[in-house]
Structure formats: C-alpha cells, structure tokens
Structure 1
Amino acid sequence: MADFFNHLGDILFLDIETASLTERFEELDERLKEEWLKKEKHLQKDPDGVIEPGSLYFDRAGIHAEFGQVICVGVGYFQWKKKDKKLIFRSKVFEHENERDLLVELSELLQKKKWVLCAHNGKEFDFPYLCRRMLIQGVPLPEPLQIAGKKPWEIRHLDTMELWKFGDYKYYTRLELLASVFGIPTSKDDLDGSQVNTTFHLEKDMGRIKKYCLQDVEVTARVYLAMNPGIDEMDIEVVHLENLKKEHN
C-alpha cells in the first residue's frame, strides 16, 4: 500500500479535447483540402456511395491531428495526506485561443518532473495527437512524450483502456462504460465527445468544453484507482487550480 502511494503522486492524468482546424471545409488550405478529400474516401462507410466532397470534414477532421487542433488539455495528479488518510486530486485545464501557446504551457509542465502520463486510450489517441500537433506547431517534445529509440519499459505511459484489456487486443472499452461498472459519476451529463466540435465552432462555448475535459480527467483518475481495490474507497478531495505549475513547484 505504501509503495502504491509513493508512486501515485508521479502520475499525471491527462485528457485532450480536439476540434477541426477550421469551421468549414472551404476554409482549409488548398493542399490540405486535397489531402482531406483523399482521406475522406477511406472514411465513408459505403465505399461505393457518393458523398458531397468535404461533407465529412466537420464531424471527422478533429480526430485526425493533421486536420485538427488541440483546443484544451485537462491534467490532474493525486497528493496523499498520510495523517488524514485522504487523497487530494488537483486538476487544471490548459486553454488558449492560440494552440501553440497552449502546447508550450503544457510542455513546460511536463518538463517539471519525471511524470508518468496516464489517459484513457492515451497510447492510441491523446499521446500521439499531442506529439503530432506539437511538431506541427514547432514545439519541441517534452521528455515524457519522447519515445523514439526508447525500449517499451522506458516509456512512462499508462493507459486505463489498455490496463482493462488484460492482454486482449481486440477489446475496446469506452471510459463511460468503465465509469458505469465501477459506479463512478459520469462526465457526460452535459456534453460528450461527439458534440465538442459543434460546441467549439458554432456555439463558441469553451466553458462547457473545459468542464467536460476536467470531468474526464477526474473520471480517468478514479477508474485508475478502482483498478486497485480498496484505494478507490478512500476519501478524495477534488481541487481545481488556476495555475498547476506554481502549485507543483
């Protein structure tokens, strides 16, 4: 138990929200338009069907780093108060009008200590998406995201979906399903991932997206605890911070 708590504070739980680069397909750079149309042919459910060129862009571009952007990143970590036998979960959301500024600020936090990064489906989405957008925006990859040349056991990435697979590579499990089976409150009470692009581009309501992102981070952290029976039953105090960098220095 003591060893678990010693390592728990080194884990940075993370969730990203993404949106299409532009609101409308027509606003894309011409070269990107051509590339999207090629990708779109592989995305349509009926390969023999006829669709309006660019019609899948608004709903699908945000999940592809070459045609999307990171609009906010939620992070959080646990602190163990041994005397009170209480876990404090401190979280923050990074958000800027300029994606590069967001990624630079996140990169600075990731360089602060030897973090272990944890996200749900992070190894297939969050971590590579961040790496690609950082390179596109000219932001050097922080050490926790540098995986080239490293042995698998040297990469400090955890993935709650991978942990739940227990080696079953065919098994995909939504975060919401794990929250349900473990009795963890949902993060989908006001918004879900399919609505983020509309909320960002059309409704321009970043407040809802930031709240949803923070909730997803907390749910991921609670799912991780639930995979360690007994730990998740402890009293957890949640604190949302304006400046996680200063708090953790």
Structure 2
Amino acid sequence: MTHLLSPITLAAWMTLGVLGVTPAVQAQVAGSSTTLQTQVTPSTEVAMGWSVKKTLLGKAVYNDAGAKVGKIEDLIIAPERNVSFVILGAGGFVGIGRHDVAIPVGQIQDRGGRLILPGASKDSLKALPTFTYVSDTRLRDQFLAQADKDIAEAKASLQDLEKKASTAATEAKARMDVQASALRDDIQSAETRLAEMRQATAVHWRDFEASVNAATLRLRKSIDKAVG
C-alpha cells in the first residue's frame, strides 16, 4: 500500500521554528492586491516551538529501548489541517533498502535532546504504508514512457537494418549483421532493466533508475551506429 500526501515541504518555513503554528503577519503578495489573513500567535509560543532546521531535519530517532529506528528526512504540512508529519527514513532499521513512513509530529518526543518514537519496533514500522511524494509517481511514469519510446525506436531501427542487410552486398551485409546483433542485445538489456523497475514497488523505482538510464543510453548509441 502506498501512502500519498500532497506535500508542502518546509524550506520556506524553517525559520519559523514551530510545528502547527502560523505567523503573525498580514502579507502583501507580490504582483497582486490579495492579502493573506493569518492567525495571530504569541511570539513566546513560537519561540518555544521546535526548529525544523536545528531540531528535526536529518536527526536520528530512537525507540524506548534506545535503538535507532531511523532518520527524519522531511516534514510535511497537510493542507488545511493542523497536523504535521515527519517523514522517517526507517529502511536500515527494518532491514530493507528504502522504507520512508509518515509519522504524526505529536508522536515524536524530545527527551533530553534525543528524539524518541515510543513503541517503535521493526515490525510496527515495516507494517506502516510506505510514504512517497505525489510528484515521484509522475516522474516515474514519465521515465517509463521515455524508456518505452527509446525501446520502440530501437526495434524500428533494428527492423529497418535487418531489411537492408537482407539485400546488401556481402561486405555491407556483414557489417550490418554485426550492428543488428549489437542493437538486438541492447534492446534485450534495456527491456530486462525496465521490467525489473516495473516489478518493483513504485517507491523503489529510483533504485533502478541508473541501470535503466545506462541501458537506454547504450541503446541510443547503437541506434546512431545503425542509422549511420
């Protein structure tokens, strides 16, 4: 199961140093007459909040037993909700390559400067749905579509090359046969790498991105040779 949120990352919010608190300001939007009405919050409440940059991002999280359960990779504010989530990278702890999970900020405790997630265990974290950004799925679809296009073009080039080789003179035919063989191997390699990516869960697609890229690059080079 894939857990999807439309994320608003906090790059622009880091200096606020507070979770679930809105700034006491009425801002004029550049190039617009619209004003932003925001809730007024006492500055002391802001000052007592957690700094995203200093306290959360990149920090290790532990369970009650003192075992490290992961690292905070991001902080998400759900639109129109007063609940924020930390994105906990728990892959190494649960024993798999990548497993990011969304944990409500309220479940994280600060105990003497150490971030604690009470009750966290390998089984409980592994059972949580994997978090992935909505934009990641769009990028994956675009990546797959481009790879499919490269393979289709290579197959068309191979078919054309084989047709030309069938009527070519002996020397030219030998050269074309070598090019066709290389192109055929590269097509098979690209299809294999792409199939591996498709069989993996959507959140792990980047683990296969480099190998598919390398295979399609070889494919395009083989097409260029064949066309040349």
After TM superposition, the score normalised by the length of structure 2 is 0.24
The structure whose Rg is larger is 2
